[in-house]
Amino acid sequence: MIIKDMMPAFELYQPTQVADALVLLNRFGKDGWKLAGGNDSLSWFKERAKRPKAVIDITGITELKGIKETPDGIEIGALTTLSEIERSPIVQSRYRVLADAARRVASPQIRNTGSIGGNVSQDARCLYYRYGLACYRAGGNTCFADTPEGVNREHALFDTDRCVAVSPSDTAPALVALDAKFVIRSSKGERVVSAEDFFVGPKIDIIHLTSVQPEELLTAIRIPKDWAGAHFYFEKVADRDAWDFALVNVAAAIVVTNGVIERSRIASGGVSAVPKRLNVVEEVIKGKPQGADIAKLAGQSAVRGARPLNYNQFKIPLMSNLVTRAVRDASA
């Protein structure tokens, strides 16, 4: 730390139209940086660990704000704040799991400035990576966390590949549970991807946690009607009950008919580089009566294949218990 905690200079652009933002992103490519609420970006800048040439502040683009109803469900603009989502009547009544997840992000101040697009796009919180060390995720060729003595209490149980950092987002698992689609635009056009294609692990891209390219912009998240009004469950366990990242979180959408689980989508954060969809759990509980017995099995199945590091073994019972609770306690 020769010098830290002091933001270096950058060029600042403040477009008010998506089209203008896309021109700028195209122009600067890897030297450009998309700034929304700033809760992740500014800490990177202050650490002097990421030093973009140009910062494109998209917060003036009004078309990216707000929640609107569509024939297929709802569309949430990427700049919609977490506070708006947590308070939105339509989200609360039909897609409660997302409101519950948004409400558990950080603190009221951060939720007032933090956007849904930023929350799902935020970078990993691994100590070493944030410190600016040349680890795999930073383009280097080592991992400091995946060692016998490394600080890895908050790291991954699953799907690690050189990097063991986790997805820190609370809303991401909820969006996976809701089968959300991510609308990504660039000057070449628009693509709409599922959560599975939006969030990426180190096997696919060790540098980024999402598939959004430098010249692309996440503009909206669409939530289909399929899971509206399902039984929902969200729970986050962190050391502190506010202003803290999840040790583990879980989000579930479960369609229960006459007490029997018809179908479900369940995801867990804080356990892998992506919000981990728990397909095995979904299989295990399908067609079974919702209750304590199947919930226990669900919890056991959730952690099969977990490969803990030295300090994060507690995440195995934690994740297992949270999945048990989700299946047991999900309610309309």
Give the footprint of another protein on this chain (CB under 8 A): 1-9, 43, 48, 107, 127-128, 131, 133, 144, 147, 149-151, 153, 235, 237, 239-245, 247, 310-314, 317-318, 321-322, 324-325
Sign, CA dihedral 214-220-221-224, equals negative
Q: Using the minimum distance from each CB to another protein, give the nearer residue, 123 or 216.
A: 123
Beta bridge partners of 323: none
Q: Using the minimum distance from each CB to another protein, give the nearer residue, 81 or 324.
A: 324
* Burial 255-288, CB ≥16 within 10 A → b, else e: bbeeeebebbbbbbbbbbbbbbbbeebbebbeeb
Quickly count: other Cβ atoms within 10 Å of residue 66's Cβ: 14
Q: Is 132 exposed, middle or buried (0-12, 13-18, 19+ CB in 10 A)?
A: middle
Looking at this protein, which amino acid is placed at residue 214?
P
Q: How far is the CB of 94 from another protein (least distance, A)?
A: 27
Cα 313 from Cα 150, distance rounded (Å) = 14
Beta bridge partners of 13: 56
Q: Using the minimum distance from each CB to another protein, give the nearer residue, 6 or 89.
A: 6
Q: How far is the CB of 311 from another protein (least distance, A)?
A: 4
Q: Which helix (H) or strand (E) holds 108?
A: helix 108-113
Q: Using the minimum distance from each CB to another protein, give the nearer residue, 240 or 332.
A: 240
Q: How far is the CB of 5 from another protein (least distance, A)?
A: 4
Cα 72 from Cα 186, distance rounded (Å) = 23
Q: Which helix (H) or strand (E) holds 198?
A: helix 195-198
Q: Using the minimum distance from each CB to another protein, give the nearer residue, 237 or 281.
A: 237
Name the one residue in this structure whose structure tokens are 């652009």.
Answer: 13
Q: How far is the CB of 245 from another protein (least distance, A)?
A: 8
Q: Using the minimum distance from each CB to another protein, give the nearer residue, 19 or 42.
A: 42
Q: How far is the CB of 107 from another protein (least distance, A)?
A: 7
Q: How far is the CB of 192 from another protein (least distance, A)?
A: 34
